[in-house]
Homo-oligomer: A and B are copies of this chain.
């Protein structure tokens, strides 16, 4: 797809956009999270309140934990369909829907500063903690009635994108909107419980096993955790279950590098590296052929578990020496 001219709209112009049109397809990004779903459904419910027709299109299956607001929407048959996208920074993130819809998004509503401007129009607020913050303001601007399920969707997006108001993306406005949303009958505590505090028994069992593997290196500035194929098999934990394990490695006091080694094949291991300043996880994983962000990076390595551990530890040690937080000469 060639880059088109992308016009930035303000809230007022975006509100006008919705008033003037009648039939909407609302796209989310693939591997949908609370914010893209919350934003899509809040917009969906809002448009319905305005007497418009709308449907939500998600490239992947919507996890059942969002079922308290993410219902199946009717398919719209219309020659006059307006395609909008929420929380989708790049049309690549439309996954299987990119071919059909990626080139005809008339409005994208997003909070990612990295938005690649694939849509005809863009309502972007990179200071918003979540796309749901922007949708809340849009619905207010449209003077649309916000009902309980809309409030649930909006709250879910804001809570999930901020780690329940924990991260640095939270602003005074984030809390102000939350204070409005919890006046509705949303049972925020129950939403938070589902989103943040619900672990399966099998995951708890896996965590116990993983903690047994904890190794400390480089004067305890590095922790290494392993998730072997045997552990995954014994507990029945698979892909999505394992996402939270890397979080453990970054939570230990004094640790600057948290390594999680996850077995993905007979001789294949996926490394997740979480680092704190001044370490650069992307550079460390990059030196082994991987990549990522400064604080969260990864690489896939081949070999035996011991070989793979030695490789990533050597790279982390080198990164620590470069950053002057540890020296092999002190040993």
* Residues in chain A within 8 A of chain B (CB atoms): 163-168, 170-176, 178-180, 182-183, 187-190, 192-193, 196-201, 204-205, 207-208, 211-212, 214, 216, 220, 247-248, 250-254, 276-277
11 more A-B residue pairs beyond the given contacts A167-B192, A201-B254, with a C-beta to C-beta distance below 8 A: A166-B192, A168-B189, A172-B183, A174-B179, A190-B277, A197-B247, A197-B250, A198-B251, A199-B252, A201-B220, A204-B211
Copy tally for this chain in the complex stands at 2
Closest 10 pairs between A and B when the two form their complex, measured CB to CB = A175-B179, A168-B189, A208-B211, A166-B192, A172-B179, A165-B165, A175-B178, A197-B251, A175-B175, A176-B179
- What are 15 A-to-B residue pairs whose CB atoms are below 8 Å? A167-B192, A168-B188, A170-B188, A175-B176, A175-B179, A198-B251, A199-B252, A199-B253, A200-B253, A201-B254, A204-B251, A204-B252, A205-B214, A207-B211, A208-B214
Residues from chain B with Cβ under 8 Å of A183 in the complex: 172
- Say yes or no: B253 contacts A166, CB within 8 Å: no
Residues from chain B with Cβ under 8 Å of A207 in the complex: 211
With CB as the reference atom, state the residue of chain B lying closest to A171: B182
A200 CB to closest chain B CB (Å) equals 5
